[in-house]
Structures are given as C-alpha cells and as structure tokens.
Amino acid sequence: MTRSLPFLLLLSACGESSRSPLADEPFIPPSCGAEPLTPRPDADGEFYGSETVGYAFLGALHYQDERSNATLSVPQAGTICLRGTVAAGQFAYAELILGLDEHSVDGKCRWPLLDARAFGAASLRFSLDEVPDTHLFLTAAVFQRGECPEGEFGCVAGGIYTLLTPDREELLLLHPGVNLAPFADFVGNELSVPLDTSRLSFFTLRLAPTNRALDFAFCLSELAFLDAAGHEVVPSPRGP
Amino acid sequence: MLARRSAALWPRSLTRGALLLATTLLGCFDVHEVDTSGTSVAWPRVRIVDDFENANGLPTWSLLTPWICNTWPAPGACTAGSADPGLGRGRAGFLSFDVTSPGGAELTAQTLVAGLDLGRYDELAFTATLEAGEGGALPPWVEVRVQLDCPNAAEVGFDRDGQSVSVMSAGSPIADGRAQRFVLRLASMTQPTWQDWERIDPRRCLADVTALAFEISAVGAGLSLAGTLSVDDVELYAYAGGAPNAADSRFSPWYCFGAPGIACDESRELPVATFPGARDPDLPNRFCTDAVKVDPIDHTLGTDTRNFASLGSLSFAAHFASADSGKTEPARFGVRLGCGALSAGFPAVMREVEIFPAWSSYRLPIASFDPYPYPIGFDNVEGCLEQVDQICLEGLPGAAEPAGTLMLDELVLR
C-alpha cells in the first residue's frame, strides 16, 4: 500500500542491483549515454545552478511538488547557501548536493568520482550556520558499476549510504557549527557492507520531509576532508 | 503510556523519625555470582518509534518519514496528522477515514534509510482508540492491522499495482473511543495470503522493513467504514531472553516519575534512572515497573498482579553512581512493592537496601518487607504481597534522596 520515496524510485530506475558493490570488485565506468551529474539550470527548474567551491561542485534540487523550491547562492568564496520552501508530505524535500571531483572515467565522459581512500580521507568536515526546523542529515553516494542509460542517478543506484549515529539507531542530525561525518558511520542497504570510499560520487545534505510546509535557509562552509588523525587532507590533482 | 499511575501523596506533617522503616542491610555480592535459579522478571528495552509529540510530524525515531494516509480502492478518502490532546498525554497521531469495504485506510510512515532491521526486537506496542464518524457506527469486527513492508525481502517486491510484500498482525480495538494498548509479537506476524505473487520468509521481512502502517479494514462488502483511528506511543520492545509467553511473568518497561529532575532511559539494555537528589515533598521520585499481561486473543495489554507471598526472596543486581564523584559510600534506597488493587490510597510494602557504587547483587527476603507509611494505618502486609502489581525503587521516606544514577539488572523471584 505504500510507495518508495521518489528519490529512491529515481535511483532504482536504472534497474541495477540494489546491493552495494564489494570494494575489491573491478570498477566498470558508466555508459556515456548518461548525462553527467553537474547541476545546471534546466527548463523545468529542477536544478538551480552550478557553483564551484574548492574541489567540489554543489547544487540543489527538489522533487515532485510544484510548491517546493530551492535557490542556491555563493555569498563568498567557500560558502554555499540554500534557501527555499519544502511542501508538506512524505514526498517533498530539498537537498544540497556536494558533488565530488569530476573525472573522466573512460576517456570520454566526465563523472563525479573521487577516490578518497587514495589520499587517506576518513571523514568529511563542514560548518553550518544554522539548520532548518526539521531533521537535516547527510547521505553519501557511491558510484556503482554498470550502465545507467536512464539517468544520471542510475549510476549510484543501490549505492546510497546514510550517516547514522555510532550505534546505528538514529540519523546523525546535522547541527549549527562544525559537523564531522566519519565515513565509518555511513550505512547502506546492508549493514555489513562499508562505504566504499574509493568510489565516492557525491554527498547530499537532505531535509527530512515534514507534515507542514517548511521555509528553510542555511549556509555551508569550511568543507574539508580529514584523515583518521583529524588532519585535513586534500585530493590528488584532477585527472584528465 | 502504560499505566503511569500517580503516587500516593506524602503528608508533610509526618516526622522523619516516624517515616523510617525497619531496615536490614544485606550483604552484597559480585554480580557474576547471582543465583538465577528463580523466575526472572522479564521487562523490555524500549525503542520509541513515535510518541507524536513533534508538531512538525517528524517521528521520534529519526529514521522514519512523517505519517501520511492512504485509502483503497479509491485514494484520498482520508486525512492524517497529529492532534492534542493525545491518548493520555501530549499529542497523538490520527487517521480519519471514510471508505467502503472491502476497501480500507492506512496511516503509514516510511524509512529514510534502505531498510530497518526490526528482527532485533520482539514486540510492537501501541495505544489506539477507534471512533465511528459522527452519527455512524463501525462494524464490530473492524480490525487495526499493523503492516510492515519489506520489498527487499522478495525477488519481486511489488505487485503490478505497486503493493509491497509485507507481514502483518492485527488488534481489534473497541470502537467506543476508549484507549487500549496493544502488544503484537513480531515473530507471529505473517504474510497476507492475498500476496500470492511471492511468498517470503517473515524473518527476512522483519530484517529489512521499509514502511510501517496501521490499517483499518473489515471483512465483508458494502460496509461503511467512517471514523477516526488515533495512535500513540508506538514502541518496539526487546527482551534480553526473548519475548515472554502469555503465561510468563511479564513486567512493563521501567519508567520513572516524580520531580522534574528525575529521568529514565528505557532504551538501554539495562534500565537506568537518574535521581536529582531533591524531590517534591508530596510526590516521591520513583523508578518502577508494573506487572502486566497481554491477552493472547486480542493482544490488549492489561494490568496484572503477582503473588509474592509464596516467594522466599527478591534478588537483583544494581549499581549507583553518585552525582558526587568523590562519594564512595552506598546509597540508601527503598524497594517498594505496590498493591494498588488491594485498597484505595496505593498501599505498598517496602524495605531498605543500600546500593553500592560497584555492581553488586542484593537478595531481599520477602518476609522482611514492612508496610509502607502511606496510606496511614495500612498494615496488611500479607494481603499486599499476594497482589503485587508494581516494583519500584525510591529514596527512603523522610530521608535525603541520593543524587546520582541507578542502574538495574537481573531481577529474580525465588
């Protein structure tokens, strides 16, 4: 009697396995038939711009409800802001996407893909000036192997991990100030399959749906990767 | 919540000396030496799914979306939300519906993660009321079904209409607006027979739940189903030794009440209460569990009594961490056995125990319990022990209450 969240429906549209890949499986790049993930304005207003902040590109989108809207802005270098309104209901939400480094994975297509393991990243750190009056939580998308001809999100189908509390009982709710997201606390479809940090595609800061329309505005800054000792580490130079 | 009954008022005029009870400090032992040959008192650890107190509709368990309603075969014949007052306290969720059988309505929340492992829990508890729409009546055999969707547990998780495979169980609230609490055993939930496109292993379903729904439906065709279902205090219970059977000695989750500073954490493996060290003179701070029973037919939860008179002792393990970190001496508590069904005024018996900072075990002979000071004049110890309906720990009447955190384990009756 119930429906899956539209985001998940969209992700599963590719028809890929819903299971996470094993970290040691050979990486198979996506089909070039899919569009890259770079957020960009389009005729339907689904995407609200593309901005570069350091090595990440960022965007906002919302789904399925014309009463929802979101606007992205960069008031200063290194700071990205999202504001708008989310309609009431289970199927309306907004999210700020932190797309990671775009690489050419097959010599032709460019795709957000970051091997965070290669430079020793163990967590993501960022600051928020405030949080909306709902749960704000973080997900990570892992690039899956296989083709994804039906859309860009198909390439991460089954590869969405959610940041939970260390006991894995609750969402780790984001808060004003400095937030730390240990990669070890991201949980996907199978608890036993850890986040594959060698194939990170993007992070999202997502507003949980509520049962009443919600105005929101928040800014993210000081985005950085940290190693296990808490020291900032930076990705290797971009590929071709 | 489960019968959180008010405590007896404490007359201010009684002197401290008159309140002191005859006490016997028993020896304490290492917890690992506890003799568990008696009957263990089974109480659950609690995962609150939703107490419906968030005005935004966000469930208490952050892994769930807000509740919405659906109806079938025609959609949209419902409204859902939360309203104040709820069932006993605060807000409650509600589902107002107007459908015709064999249709139905549901109040449902989905998971924000891929799937929840509810196999770690033994029971689902909730409080519900059912009321017919204005001027109407509901069929007497209307059911409230709890349905857990688990499309990932099947090769074909959804049928062509988008309906997920699931397991379910049902309670039958009386449609008179009276609040009833239901306790459903998760392991007894089964897949509906109409889901004939693929049969699933219910245990696998419980391990990968993507939605939880309360459904209203009735057998028969052409029956009007119009009314409101209210739901509150949806909780999952996990027992250390598995869910008790109907005949087993069952107690409620530990809870506490009294001054604002007292706090319980019933979500932990072992019950924990933090005593503020100060209390309302008319209302003692108590950390309690109630004797309860679940009707095996309609799954309603009710109060119960236990006959302690025929027992030899009550044992438990405990430790008390004083708020004063430098304090190493034991804290004085009273173990109170309530027998509210015996007479008015919440009669009880009590005995003192000194609880040490380190985990220790305590064995209290049943014969050593004395009348509680209130109600004044109560002295029917034997009668009270035959109808014990509540076990509490509290500061001693008339004495300074210890400030700190009390943790319990392994309560055994012999």
pLDDT tens, residue by residue, B14-57: 222 222 222 233 333 333 344 546 788 888 999 999 999 987 88
Other CB atoms within 10 A of residue B273 CB: 25
CA distance A188 to chain B (A): 7
For residue A145, give the nearest of A134, A132, A131, A156 by alpha carbon.
Answer: A156
pTM summary value: 0.81
CB-CB neighbors (< 8 A) of B112 in chain A: 5, 137, 162, 171, 208
Instruction: Locate the chain B residue with the closest alpha carbon to A7.
Output: B112
**Residue predicted with more confidence, A18 or B267:** B267
pLDDT-based confidence at B62, cuts 50/70/90? very high
Is there a contact between A1 and B63 if contact means CB atoms under 8 Å apart? no
The counts of H helices and E strands in chain A are: 1, 15
What type of residue sits at position B65? T
DSSP SS3 for B87: coil
Residue B214 pLDDT greater than 90, yes or no: yes
C-alpha angle with apex B410: B404 to B411, nearest 5 degrees?
A: 90
- Please return the burial class of A193, using the count of CB atoms within 10 Å of its CB with bins 0-12, 13-18 and 19+: middle
Is there a contact between B114 and A169 if contact means CB atoms under 8 Å apart? no
Residue from B48, B53, B62 to probe the interface with A (highest A Cβ count within 10 Å): B62
Average pLDDT, rounded, for chain B: 85
**What is the model's pLDDT at position B231?**
94
Task: Using the structure block, give the residue that is written with the tokens 């309860």.
Answer: B292
CB-CB neighbors (< 8 A) of A1 in chain B: 70, 72, 106, 108, 147, 149, 163-164, 213, 215
Each residue's pLDDT tens digit, B71-107:
988 888 899 988 876 666 789 999 999 998 888 999 9
Instruction: Locate the chain A residue with the closest alpha carbon to B120.
Output: A169
Give CA–CA dist B300/B144, Å, rounded: 12
**What is the model's pLDDT at position A124?**
94
Give CA–CA dist B307/A71, Å, rounded: 66
Instruction: Locate the chain B residue with the closest alpha carbon to A132.
Output: B56
CA B259 centroid distance within chain: 21
Each residue's pLDDT tens digit, B292-337:
999 888 899 999 999 999 999 999 999 999 998 878 889 999 999 9
Residue B406 pLDDT greater than 60, yes or no: yes
CA distances from A194 to A8, A23, A155, B117, B208 (A): 20, 9, 18, 17, 17
**What is the model's pLDDT at position A147?**
52
> What stretches of A152-213 adopt beta strand conformation (E)?
160-163, 177-182, 186-187, 200-207
Phi, psi values for residue B199, rounded to 5°? -95, 140
Give CA–CA dist B169/B215, Å, rounded: 10
Is there a contact between A170 and B72 if contact means CB atoms under 8 Å apart? no
What is the predicted ipTM? 0.73
Phi, psi values for residue B293, rounded to 5°? -145, 150
Query: Quick check: bond before B151 cis, omega within 30?
Result: no
Instruction: Locate the chain A residue with the closest alpha carbon to B108.
Output: A2
C-alpha angle with apex A51: A188 to A129, nearest 5 degrees?
A: 70
CB-CB neighbors (< 8 A) of A188 in chain B: 114
Task: Using the structure block, give the residue that is written with the tokens 């949080």.
Answer: A131
Per residue of chain A (240 residues), what is the pLDDT tens digit? 332 222 222 222 122 222 233 334 444 444 444 444 444 433 333 333 334 434 444 555 555 566 777 777 778 777 888 888 888 877 677 788 777 655 544 444 556 677 889 889 999 999 999 999 888 999 998 876 545 544 455 566 667 899 999 888 899 999 999 999 999 999 987 767 889 998 888 888 988 888 888 899 999 888 889 999 999 988 765 544
Q: Could you say which of B66, B112, B149 has the minimum Cβ distance to residue A211?
A: B66
Give CA–CA dist A64/A5, Å, rounded: 10
CB-CB neighbors (< 8 A) of A135 in chain B: 58, 62
CA B263 centroid distance within chain: 16
**What is the model's pLDDT at position A4?**
24
Length of chain B: 414
Give CA–CA dist B208/B55, Å, rounded: 28
CB-CB neighbors (< 8 A) of A4 in chain B: 110, 151, 210
Cβ of residue B235 closer than 8 Å to a chain A Cβ: no
Residue from A7, A16, A170, A211 to probe the interface with B (highest B Cβ count within 10 Å): A211
Task: Specify the DSSP class assigned to residue A164.
Answer: B
**What is the model's pLDDT at position B86?**
65
Residue from B65, B91, B118 to probe the interface with A (highest A Cβ count within 10 Å): B65
Instruction: Locate the chain A residue with the closest alpha carbon to B195.
Output: A1
CA distances from A71 to A62, B340, B404 (A): 10, 61, 50
Give CA–CA dist B74/B103, Å, rounded: 8
Residue B343 pLDDT greater than 70, yes or no: yes
**What is the model's pLDDT at position B320?**
95
Give CA–CA dist B105/B229, Å, rounded: 10
**What is the model's pLDDT at position A239?**
45
- Give B276-279's long-range contacts (Cβ < 8 A, gap of 24+): B276/B401, B276/B403, B277/B323, B277/B400, B277/B401, B277/B402, B277/B403, B277/B404, B278/B401, B278/B403, B279/B395, B279/B401
CB-CB neighbors (< 8 A) of B70 in chain A: 1-2
